[in-house]
Amino acid sequence: MSATLHLLEDLIARPSVTPADFGCQGVIAQRLAAAGFSCEQMPFGPDDFRVDNLWAVHTGSRPGPTMVFAGHTDVVPAGPLNRWNSDPFVPSYRDGKLYGRGAADMKTSVAAMVVAAEEFVKAQPGHAGRIAFLLTSDEEGPSVDGTAKVIEALKARGEALDCCIVGEPTSVDTLGDMIKNGRRGSLSGKLTITGVQGHVAYPQLARNPIHLLAPALAELAAMHWDEGNEYFPPTTWQASNLHAGTGATNVIPGEAVLDFNFRFSTASTPESLKARVAQVLDRHELQWRIDWTLGGEPFLTPVGSLVGALVQAIQAETGVAATLSTTGGTSDGRFIAKACEQVVEFGPVNATIHKVDEHVRVDAIEPLKNIYRRTLELLLT
């Protein structure tokens, strides 16, 4: 059994459902320390939702960039166990695949990063720059006391981060076919429309907020927000929930609440999107208020040293020509990009993430580790 697979089995066997780390970071820290890394535990959060974070650094003997491997040791809940063909927290093999919760998202990447770093520093003890690890147990949850807090702490003490690979499962059909070199921003709103409650038989004595909202809702759904750009598709707006009423069929509600979300490109800003929504609501003469939540700003890493090294490493290891993409949801890359100029995401095939019988192909594990190691060689030697 390879060192990567051995570590991966250990990690999958630990039921590290957010925010529990279940000892994953302790195992990793022990290995990294043995390889010469300086390891620092950085827990944050209240006692009833303690988040474990690990910051580990190996410093070479020559000047160079700081290359960060970032990831998370937490996983989403397994769901109904009777729907799994094997225990989600017992590594199981079938048809050339390794099954278990976190196999794809993202314990394979974490294991591969660790072993890649071990191999690299053993072969290149005098490498240039620094290799760092930033691991959290709160990526699948609120994402409040994890990577975001660690980045704040690192910035406060003047840590310089130059390049970062986040081990998100980005491949689509085969290992290496896609790299995420950015992500769209996420801006959510909870819109409350105020009307006047009344009896449905006397609508002249009431103001139905659902009726009042409907024309504005149709306009928002049809709006063209921006054109996107070379790297990003156009910004999208989606309504996700609409709540109103008392539960009775003979009562006009006094208010309606609409939940919505923007996934926005660098062609728009949170401020511009908020202003355009307000213009629509005011034009329809609504009594309204919105509680806004900025889930993350968009970030983008153009082709440069990091993208070039990773593309070259993938080509050399697999023969695959990687495509750059900014599609998908948010990731911890949005926090890291605030302190690091070049941030990309790369990992195994994502077809089964968060699903029953999550798995990764066994024959993709060592190539993934080799890609990470090759990237280090290109950047730090």
Feature table: binding site for Zn(2+): 72, 105, 140, 168, 354
- 139 flagged as catalytic: yes
What is the DSSP track for 122-175? Answer: HH-TT-EEEEEEEEES-SSS--SSSHHHHHHHHHHTT--EEEEEE----BSSST
- 74 flagged as catalytic: yes
Q: Are 179 and 170 in contact (CB under 8 A)?
A: yes
List C-alpha distances in Å: 263 to 164, 191, 243, 271, 354: 23, 17, 22, 14, 21
Beta bridge partners of 180: 325, 345
Q: Are 11 and 71 in contact (CB under 8 A)?
A: no
Chain Cα centroid distance, residue 363:
25
Angstrom distance (rounded) from CA 95 to CA 177: 22
From 9, 21, 74, 345, the catalytic residue: 74
Angstrom distance (rounded) from CA 311 to CA 374: 10
What number of CA atoms fall less than 13 Å from residue 289's CA on the CB side? 4
From 9, 52, 119, 139, the catalytic residue: 139
Q: Which residues contact 334 (CB under 8 A, 6 or more apart)?
A: 183, 185, 295, 296, 297, 298, 299
Residue stretches of the annotated binding site: 72, 105, 140, 168, 354
Which residues are tagged catalytic? Answer: 74, 139
